[in-house]
Amino acid sequence: MTKDELGQYIATNFEGQLTPVETGKHDLWFEVKAADLLAVCQKLKNEEKLAFDYLCNLSGVDTGEQFEAVYSLASTTLNHRLDVKVVLPYDGAKIESVQTVWAAANWHEREVWELYGIEILNHGNLKRFLLPDEWDQGYPMRKDWDADDFVRMPEK
C-alpha cells in the first residue's frame, strides 16, 4: 500500500476518529482524541490491511500551552509507518495506557509520566526509572521547569 493509499484507507475507515495533520513530513500524521486512543490503537494493530505491530516510539511534547503524546507506529509486515498524536490540556493531562496493544509502551509511558507528569491510566506499573524514587521537584521536560530551582538530592 502506498502512502497515499494508506492515507485514503485511514480517512475512509477511521472517519471521525483520526484527523489528518499537515506537517510536511515523510510519514502520515493523524490526531486522535484521548477518549478514542485505546480503541484506535487496537484497530490500527489488528486490522489486517494496516497491521501496525510495532510501537517505534512514544514521546511527550510540551508546547507551552498544551501537551501532546506522539505515537510513532510501524508495520513490520506491510512496511509502512504512521504517526498519531493526542492533544491534552496542560492541567489534568491524562491518557489511557496502550500496553495491552504494544507491550513496549510500558517504558515509553513511564517516561512520559515521569518527565512530563502526564497521567497514564490503567498502566499498572508507574514507577520511576530515570529520576530518584523520592523525586519531588517537578517534571524536568516541561517548559515551565526551571533547572536553577533544582536542589541536588542528598547522597545515600
The per-residue pLDDT for range 69-128, each reduced to its tens digit, is 999 999 999 999 999 999 999 999 999 999 999 999 999 999 999 999 999 999 989 999
The pLDDT-based confidence of 153 (bands split at 50, 70, 90) is low
Q: How much is the pTM?
A: 0.92
Structural domain boundaries of the chain? 3-131
Gap between the terminal Cα atoms of the chain = 56
Q: Give the residue with greater pLDDT, 23 vs 117.
A: 117
The architecture that CATH gives domain 3-131 is 2-Layer Sandwich (3.30)
Say what the pLDDT of residue 106 is: 96
For residues 20 and 12, is the Cβ–Cβ distance under 8 A? no
Say what the pLDDT of residue 124 is: 87
